[in-house]
Each structure stands twice: as C-alpha cells, then as structure tokens.
Structure 1
Amino acid sequence: MAELLPGVGVWLACLVAVAVGTGVQRLAGQGYGMVAAPMLALLAPDYLPGTVLLVGLCVGAGAFLADRSSVVVRDLPPGFAGRALGAAIAAWIATRVVGTPALPLVTGLLVWFAVGLTLLGLRLPLTPPTLFGAGTVAGVMGTLTGIGAPPMAIVYAEVETRRSAATQNVFFAFGMAVSIAALLLAGVIGLSHLAFALTLAPAVPVTLWLVRPLAARVARRAIRPWALGLAATAAGVLIVRSLF
C-alpha cells in the first residue's frame, strides 16, 4: 500500500512532469498523459493510475474553459458514449493489474503505442461511428494510464487547430471524470491517490496561466516532437526497468 505522500524529491519531479504535461495539453489538445503517466510510473508507481487521472481532470477542465467557445457540441455524444464504454472495460482490467508489477509495463507499452499512433499520421473521417470507436479505445487507454488523446487525435487530424484542440480537451476532461468514476467503483483509487493529486493540482492553473500567451502563437506541430520524444524516452526506461 502506498504512503500518503512520496518523498520531497519525488514530489518535485512529479510536479514538473505535471506542469510540462499540462502545458502541452493546453497548447495541443493532447499530451498531458503521455508526459505525466510514464514519469509518475517511473518515480511513484504506487500512485498510478489514480493520481494521473485526478490531476488530469483539472487539466482537462482548465484547458476546456480556456477554449470553450471553439467546441463543436454535435461531436460530443458519440465520443462520450465510446469513452464511457472504454472506461468500463478498463476498470475491469485495472482490478487485475493495479498494484502489481504489470502496471508499469502496461503503462510503458501503452505510451509507445500512443506515440506510434501519433507518428503514423493516420487519418479517419470525422463521423459519429469513428468518434465512438476512437472514444472506446481512448477510454481503455485513458483509464489505465491517463493517455487517451491519440485515438481522438486521429479523428481530428484534418480539423482546424482551434476546434480540434478545444473539442479534444472536452473529451479529455469527460474521459478523466468517467475513468475516475469507473476506478472508484472498481475500488482501485484510494486516499493516497487523492492526497498526492491534491498536492500536485496547484501546478495546473499556474501552468495554464503561464502558457496562455503562447496559445495563439505556438503551432501544435512545433511542440509535438518534444512531447513525443520525452514520452517515448520515459516509456522506454519504464519498460526496460519492468523487464529487467
């Protein structure tokens, strides 16, 4: 069972990971989970996935509020339905891997899968069926690791940047909420996850405020290579450590 809070050094490193992930999420509509999840899995594996999801709820809500005028409401119902289904599936899986050595390995592999999806540059038409399918896959990935954005990003690849980022942030916030609910029902989120998340959460509004001047000037493509490189490196270290 995890202690209520980790040591100061681990906490500071996790705080930085959350801040970087929050900044990327705000600017690109994805990235928080790919940055924060592998870093927390390396530094504080006992707090996964609950802490990543609880802080992620703040990240998604804050990023959505910053760009809510660009959200296209008609996109939301099929994506929400898929995300809820995926969260239910993942909660069942989580009862078997959370708290075991398998979780860091699963996290690392899903990060690599997410990076691979992003790099492949796949494209899907933006339709209710593709939103539902992407939402389901995102629900499974997001509930287990906090990384649910890449499947939705495939659907929004050809969509105007502001609409894409804003609507994906809505899916992200909703996904965090249903994932937390599913894991609470499954009994795999506890007091230690909540306590740690509460100490990390102040980094979210501070980061969102700091990156606000960049939102109109920084293109998603400019920051994506850095975010993907950091995520892939952390996941690689995580996988190697889990196996050896």
Structure 2
Amino acid sequence: MIELLPSPGVWAACLIAVVVGTAVQRLAGQGFGMVAAPMLALLAPDYLPGTVLLVGLCVGAGSFLSDRSAVVLRDLPPGFAGRALGAGIAAWIAARVVGTAALPLVTGLLVWLAVGLTLLGLRLPLTGPTLFAAGTVAGVMGTLTGIGAPPMAIVYSDVEARRSAATQNVFFAFGMAVSITALLVAGVIGLRHLAFAAVLAPAVPVTLWAVRPFAARVAKRSIRPWALGLAGTAAGVLIVRSLI
C-alpha cells in the first residue's frame, strides 16, 4: 500500500530538490523539472509525475509573476497550442506507464535527452511553426516527467535574456496546468500526489523571494553547468537502478 506521504527523511531530501529547482527556474527560465524530477524519481517514485507537475505549476506561476512585464504576448498562442497537443499525447502514454517499473526509466532517459538538447546548443528561428513544434515536444516530455523546458529553450536561445526567461516561465506555468488537466482526465493523479505537493509547495514562494535580488546579476550560463550536472548524475543513477 502506498503511503499518503513519504517518510520525513524523504520529504526533506525532496524539499531540497524543489528549492534548488525553483531557484534555477527563476534565474534561467528553465531547470525545475530537470533538477526535481530525477530526484523525486529516485527518492519517491510513487509520487511521479503528479507531484512534480503540481509543484511546477506554483514555480512557473510565481516565476512569471516576478517578471511578467518582459513577456511577449504574440509568442504565446502557437506555443500554447503545441503544448496542449503534446499533453494529450503524453496523457495517453502516462495511463500505461505510471505506477509501473517503466516510469523511472522513462524519466531518466528523458532527463538525459533534456540535458543533451541543452548541451548541443541547437538553434531554431523564433517563428509560429517552431514555437508550435517545440511546444508539442515540450508537452509530451513535460507531462510525463515535468521536464518540458529544453525544446522551448532551443527556440529562445538567441533571444534577449529577460524576455527569454520570462516568456519561458509563462510556457512552463501553462504547460504544468495543461499537463495536470490531461493526467487528471487520464486518472493518474491521485490524493497522494496532491498531499505531497501541498507539503512541498510552501518552499516555492520562499525560494522565489530569496533569489529575487540575484535575478538581475546572475547569468544563466553560470548556473547551467551545475543544474545540468546534478540532473545528469541523478538521471544516470535512476537509469542504472531501473535496469538492475
């Protein structure tokens, strides 16, 4: 029988992952899922992906509200449409893998994919079709694991940093909301996900407030190696543990 909440030690470790992921998300416009998802998959796999998505919604909304003046509204419709399509596809997949041994392996592999996409430094022009395509891929990845930022980051790689981070935070928040809705319809978010998210979520506004003074001074390139290293290592451990 799955407990409504994990042990205090597991909760504390997951709380640290949420704090680190929230700080990275606020400062760089991406990173919460890549940090939090593999850690929760290692420590509390029975609470995926619902808990990451529920807390991620708080992270994205809070990050967006902290810098909403930099959002470019014309970018949003095609990205939103793609994200909704991807979430629907992923919900169908999730209904078949959530609660099975396949989910931690899928999470680890998607984290490695996300890290790889980030390291490759791919670039795409910022257009309606590329936003729709990136949104669709992000919708699939984000709904299954909470990691939907890398496809959007490719499109925004050459965009001014403040606009890039703020607009990606909008996509992140919208994506979490759409993914949660899709998984609720698919019946794979339950009371335990809501309960665990409720005890982790208070760390989000505290972290957003704490890192606010650094937002204008910290370059996202300076924190990216640390976030990618942590995510890649956790994903590697998760994959090995899933295969043995």
TM-score (norm 2): 1.00
- Equivalent positions of 1:113-192 (< 5 A) are 113-192=113-192
2:241 counterpart SS class: helix
Structure 2 counterpart of 1:193: 193
Structure 2 counterpart of 1:208: 208
Task: State the identity as a percent.
Answer: 87
Q: Given residue 87 of structure 1, which amino acid in structure 2 is its aligned partner?
A: A
Structure 2 counterpart of 1:61: 61
Report the Cα distance in structure 2 between the residues aligned to 1:209 and 1:2, rounded to whole angstroms.
34
Report the Cα distance in structure 1 between the residues aligned to 2:97 and 2:146, rounded to whole angstroms.
15
Spell out structure 1 runs of 4+ moving beyond 6 A: none
Contact residue 37 and residue 147 of structure 1 kept, 8 A: yes
Report the Cα distance in structure 1 between the residues aligned to 2:237 and 2:206, rounded to whole angstroms.
29
Structure 2 counterpart of 1:22: 22
Structure 2 counterpart of 1:225: 225
Report the Cα distance in structure 2 between the residues aligned to 1:203 and 1:127, rounded to whole angstroms.
36
Contact residue 153 and residue 168 of structure 1 kept, 8 A: yes
Shift of 1:191: 0.1
Contact residue 33 and residue 52 of structure 1 kept, 8 A: yes
- Equivalent positions of 1:58-97 (< 5 A) are 58-97=58-97
Shift of 1:2: 2.5
Report the Cα distance in structure 1 between the residues aligned to 2:205 and 2:134, rounded to whole angstroms.
28
Report the Cα distance in structure 1 between the residues aligned to 2:102 and 2:232, rounded to whole angstroms.
18
Contact residue 26 and residue 63 of structure 1 kept, 8 A: yes
Report the Cα distance in structure 2 between the residues aligned to 1:185 and 1:64, rounded to whole angstroms.
26
| Number of matched pairs | 244
Deviations 1:19-39 (A, max 9, x none): 000000000000000000000
Contact residue 4 and residue 195 of structure 1 kept, 8 A: yes
Report the Cα distance in structure 1 between the residues aligned to 2:191 and 2:221, rounded to whole angstroms.
38
2:3 counterpart SS class: coil
Shift of 1:151: 0.1
Report the Cα distance in structure 1 between the residues aligned to 2:43 and 2:165, rounded to whole angstroms.
29
Report the Cα distance in structure 1 between the residues aligned to 2:8 and 2:97, rounded to whole angstroms.
27
Report the Cα distance in structure 2 between the residues aligned to 1:3 and 1:190, rounded to whole angstroms.
12
Q: Which runs of 5+ in 2 are unaligned?
A: none
Report the Cα distance in structure 1 between the residues aligned to 2:125 and 2:69, rounded to whole angstroms.
23
Report the Cα distance in structure 2 between the residues aligned to 1:206 and 1:13, rounded to whole angstroms.
17
Report the Cα distance in structure 2 between the residues aligned to 1:21 and 1:102, rounded to whole angstroms.
24
Report the Cα distance in structure 2 between the residues aligned to 1:10 and 1:34, rounded to whole angstroms.
18
Q: Which runs of 5+ in 1 are unaligned?
A: none
Contact residue 94 and residue 188 of structure 1 kept, 8 A: yes
TM-score (norm 1): 1.00
Contact residue 64 and residue 170 of structure 1 kept, 8 A: yes
Report the Cα distance in structure 1 between the residues aligned to 2:126 and 2:92, rounded to whole angstroms.
29
Report the Cα distance in structure 1 between the residues aligned to 2:203 and 2:173, rounded to whole angstroms.
17
Structure 2 counterpart of 1:6: 6
Report the Cα distance in structure 1 between the residues aligned to 2:97 and 2:2, rounded to whole angstroms.
15
Deviations 1:142-167 (A, max 9, x none): 00000000000000000000000000
Contact residue 59 and residue 173 of structure 1 kept, 8 A: yes
Structure 1 counterpart of 2:109: 109
Shift of 1:3: 1.1
Report the Cα distance in structure 2 between the residues aligned to 1:3 and 1:96, rounded to whole angstroms.
22
Deviations 1:80-120 (A, max 9, x none): 00000000000000000000000000000000000000000
Report the Cα distance in structure 2 between the residues aligned to 1:131 and 1:121, rounded to whole angstroms.
17
Q: Given residue 169 of structure 2, which amino acid in structure 1 is its aligned partner?
A: N
